[in-house]
Structure 1
């Protein structure tokens, strides 16, 4: 193994750990153990299966017809889900309302209250006779094999893993043994119910995505969809589900007596989700829907297969074609923003044509991956000199105003339960809005990893009302929840509201000297193609 490859592995290990000392020690230990490999997990390729449509007379079909009342035949209907608890309640409502099928595709499904609660809901749906297909990436955090096998033991549930790791019990050993394959991940996020309703966006399944984590929270946006775009999403799911890279976890490894629900419903979670009243408002037609023509976009699963080099990613091109040429204004929201020299050149060209461009990403203190921020930071001067407006979301946005009502209520509940403290917020939403007329919502970041290593998905909607809602929401949040980055002389400055007054800082806000040093050192490493 050459030194360059070892360096790349060490850099990737940086993305998965917080402690530099532990990282170096573990890397040295695992390198010495590289020859000790156990047998891979047992998997098998099963027969293909395809989406089941419950029809417009089903429960969700009737709800969809109500949401589509103001839409034309070609249009779909969309409801935005910016609040974490409502995003969770929406997923539980679709699972509870499904009559024929539930399909889920996620990069991360954590074994926490949100993830285990959702799996319990899936089990309950299967008990009603609903077919459940669960497709998970094998790198992202997820329940262990035994838990997934208990779930898959149900006659109406199948679990498949996308691009399984070469070593099932150690992601790090998999990195050592097959670095390139391990880097290629399915980053898609999608939930389908009866081929009548879908939820997609930036959220994985885990407490931090649904405002349920005590110390950390991702600020995100999902969208609930009804209409002609849903069968497009179902076809995309089938493409991944039946691909050669999707392998089924063998459920026959579990004895029949173990075929029980993998987890009991989490009482606090259920109370919070059902107490929100979201499902009732959906059924009663009280939610606001935006109608517009829509196109589901996705990478092909063959993007990750070296034996299918012709199936390269076309997601970026598909988004551009669906949104059309930008003429006046472009909003980019990406938590991991590493445009590269080519991306900077494209943005500069747009700006020279008179397009107003606003970019929103994380501050160094807010990001959960400092290496990515280091990759972004080297382009800040070029972006500002091109005339772009650059904003960085602050980690104390929970206190400053982003989603203030929901978070204040959650903090009050925490205090009543004897817990104190507030969550650190990190931006996780991925949005593009062009000319306040069309918008992309999905899983794709603006970085080399999304373009080259991950598969991604999303939806492009042509709807001035939806686009205006997204732009307005971002602009309102930026006032108190972000720092405006600008140049002063040869240095950068950050201007924003702090303690009720406008202040300007000369270094990354909220970041300790140690974190700033780490970012500076990481910026020198040749790892941009992994970010």
Structure 2
């Protein structure tokens, strides 16, 4: 009996492997492509030369910068986008303002409210005469094959490609993902993590945000504290050139030529243009009310923008995934793109630091070169201070990555001199408006009152409040965060751990760097092994003190005592403290069986009281009087110690070998 079951399982797995390795013959791909091409609309809704674009103060700012630029003296304007709804508002406004071209490159593109809004605007832009190119990574492609089929047949001005589609599929089910992990793990692991939006080669947005509710404060249970950079001026052309390199790479496959999409087109024909009803139409309406208001757009995005110098774009190229460079990166790029390897360039900036490094990353898991660099910096006679803003276990969506970080806290503090501040799940002072989530709004079908370019419906009728809350977190389908996307190692499912208190939780997702109060970096790189060796990444570097000061203030805000716990050495044991320290260090050095239960460091919280006034300054864990105002709150504050906590300890003990791919 047991042998028969094993045989059936083996046979089933073999069938999946064979099916996964099979692909449509080229003729069938061609037939599907012909079906999509013949269905595409060719007429446009606007006869004006500017494609009926919205008059935009933002693009006017960009055109002014370009007009004032000279080859040896480029002019740029830059604005940090900390606020989630503003980051979405800027995107929608810019898409409506495009006259010639839109390039959008991203890792995650969901089909929830925020993503659907952007998708609606991209479709409308194509129909009014703008060339739209959408490039998405396979692992985070749109949820439905029908959506990809519809977009592939939408309009001659709209093109969509999927990067690195493994097993000739745009969408991988759970079983097929397992097949891909078994047969093609090396290829499966190489992902396009870049995130760009470029409008008319004049203005771009780069940063950590994907296209999903959680990145724009529209999630009802969980949102990301993230950051984008809006940059206007000549560097937008470099961003466009980098996009072109990916778009023209053989790994970027037109959606209609991928097996599952092609089969759908051949079997069913092109479906109607995709528009999923909005779950919270009121919040979409509220955002759209500001899109065409020049006073609002000028006040939020133009007036606060800084005139900056020393701007350059860093971008990996698809050659990173072909192993064309000796170090595994994309250090050598074509002259047309003007870009270089992102990871090596960022390490070079850090190596040049003299006084202070502010590093913000959601996952504090360092590559070997980064570890060597920080160790060397700390050994200098006068080392720079290194302040790190990262997630706590209570705020992260990736507890496996946190477990590896937890394992090396002693190394980070003692060997690298890091001053680590772990983000709280309920920060006291974060750039976040609870009203933006739509929480508490009644969802009725009042779409008739909306502007014709954004018809809204409600789909929550007949669902329970729990179902709606789960849907808001994407739990009815699949996890939505970057770390939570399908992975053979993501046993956490990408979901946060359970906490002692209920509430709207925030997790850190921003990726930024400030060097010596004069260089600021905003991009997609998590400063981790995956970003260095497996993912392609991009960033904008601005060598300008005023910009660096603004970015530093934003990062320090996330490290303030009300928003973060400080990691410091725990009080030594009263019994044989030196022996305990050496046992813990020996256990940490073990790649597996790191079983010593007491770690070198723990979390501290600032306590306001006599002699300890309220402060927004990050605490120095190495200060002699640190413990006067800071009290230990345990290794995992706010966490309801359950199975996820056990998982952290298990991965701390046995999972360090996963660090290069987390």
Alignment partners' CA distance in 2, 1:247 and 1:492? 48
> Kindly tell me: are residues 342 and 63 of structure 1, through their superposed partners in 2, closer, same or farther at Cα, counting changes over 3 Å?
closer
Alignment partners' CA distance in 1, 2:78 and 2:10? 50
SS in 1 for 2:400: helix
- Residues 1:152 and 2:114 are matched in the alignment: no
**Which string of whole-angstrom CA distances, capped at 9 and with x for unpartnered residues, describes residues 378-413 of structure 1?**
22111111322111111122xx22125x23x347x5
- Residues 1:287 and 2:317 are matched in the alignment: no
How far has the Cα of 1:275 moved from its partner?
A: 4.0
> Kindly tell me: are residues 191 and 403 of structure 1, through their superposed partners in 2, closer, same or farther at Cα, counting changes over 3 Å?
same
**Which string of whole-angstrom CA distances, capped at 9 and with x for unpartnered residues, describes residues 56-96 of structure 1?**
x9956423145689988423211111111011111101101
**Do 2:129 and 2:157's aligned partners in 1 also have CA atoms closer than 8 Å?**
yes
**Do 1:344 and 1:382's aligned partners in 2 also have CA atoms closer than 8 Å?**
no
Report 1:405-420 matches (<5 A).
406-407=433-434, 409-410=435-436, 414-417=439-442
Q: TM-score, normalised by structure 2?
A: 0.68
**Do 2:246 and 2:252's aligned partners in 1 also have CA atoms closer than 8 Å?**
yes
**Which string of whole-angstrom CA distances, capped at 9 and with x for unpartnered residues, describes residues 214-248 of structure 1?**
11111100011100111110110001100111111
> Kindly tell me: are residues 43 and 204 of structure 1, through their superposed partners in 2, closer, same or farther at Cα, counting changes over 3 Å?
farther
Gaps of 5+ in 2: 1-8, 34-49, 331-340, 444-464, 470-501, 573-580, 582-599, 609-613, 615-628
Gaps of 5+ in 1: 1-26, 47-53
| Paired position in structure 1 for 2:243 | 237
- Residues 1:263 and 2:275 are matched in the alignment: yes
Report 1:185-334 matches (<5 A).
185-250=191-256, 254=265, 258=270, 260-263=272-275, 266=278, 267-275=281-289, 280=294, 281-283=296-298, 286-290=302-306, 291-306=308-323, 312-313=329-330, 314-321=341-348, 325-334=352-361
- Residues 1:528 and 2:652 are matched in the alignment: no
> Kindly tell me: are residues 371 and 31 of structure 1, through their superposed partners in 2, closer, same or farther at Cα, counting changes over 3 Å?
farther
- Residues 1:349 and 2:365 are matched in the alignment: no
**Which string of whole-angstrom CA distances, capped at 9 and with x for unpartnered residues, describes residues 146-196 of structure 1?**
212211211111111111111524333222221111111000000111111
- Residues 1:495 and 2:604 are matched in the alignment: yes
> Kindly tell me: are residues 325 and 278 of structure 1, through their superposed partners in 2, closer, same or farther at Cα, counting changes over 3 Å?
farther
**Do 2:363 and 2:528's aligned partners in 1 also have CA atoms closer than 8 Å?**
yes
How far has the Cα of 1:31 moved from its partner?
A: 4.7
| Paired position in structure 1 for 2:42 | none
> Kindly tell me: are residues 30 and 452 of structure 1, through their superposed partners in 2, closer, same or farther at Cα, counting changes over 3 Å?
farther
RMSD between aligned residues: 3.3
Identify the match of residue 394 of structure 1 among 424, 436, 454. 424
Q: Which runs of 4+ in 1 moved over 6 A?
A: 27-30, 67-72, 307-311, 418-421, 498-501
| Paired position in structure 2 for 1:383 | 412
Alignment partners' CA distance in 1, 2:78 and 2:405? 32
Alignment partners' CA distance in 2, 1:96 and 1:336? 35
Alignment partners' CA distance in 2, 1:502 and 1:277? 45
| Paired position in structure 2 for 1:83 | 83
Identify the match of residue 19 of structure 2 among 33, 37, 52. 37
Alignment partners' CA distance in 2, 1:305 and 1:323? 27
- Residues 1:511 and 2:639 are matched in the alignment: yes
SS in 2 for 1:474: helix
Identify the match of residue 367 of structure 1 among 396, 399, 422. 396
> Kindly tell me: are residues 30 and 115 of structure 1, through their superposed partners in 2, closer, same or farther at Cα, counting changes over 3 Å?
farther
SS in 2 for 1:515: helix
Which is strand-richer, 1 or 2?
A: 1
**Do 2:141 and 2:162's aligned partners in 1 also have CA atoms closer than 8 Å?**
no
Alignment partners' CA distance in 1, 2:303 and 2:131? 28
| Paired position in structure 2 for 1:180 | 186
**Which string of whole-angstrom CA distances, capped at 9 and with x for unpartnered residues, describes residues 356-398 of structure 1?**
110111111211111111121222111111322111111122x
Q: TM-score, normalised by structure 1?
A: 0.84
Larger radius of gyration: 2
Alignment partners' CA distance in 1, 2:442 and 2:303? 31
How far has the Cα of 1:106 moved from its partner?
A: 0.5
> Kindly tell me: are residues 94 and 30 of structure 1, through their superposed partners in 2, closer, same or farther at Cα, counting changes over 3 Å?
farther
Alignment partners' CA distance in 1, 2:217 and 2:390? 20
**Do 2:146 and 2:271's aligned partners in 1 also have CA atoms closer than 8 Å?**
no
**Do 1:319 and 1:460's aligned partners in 2 also have CA atoms closer than 8 Å?**
no
SS in 2 for 1:79: strand
Report 1:433-448 matches (<5 A).
433-448=514-529
Identify the match of residue 61 of structure 2 among 33, 58, 63. 63
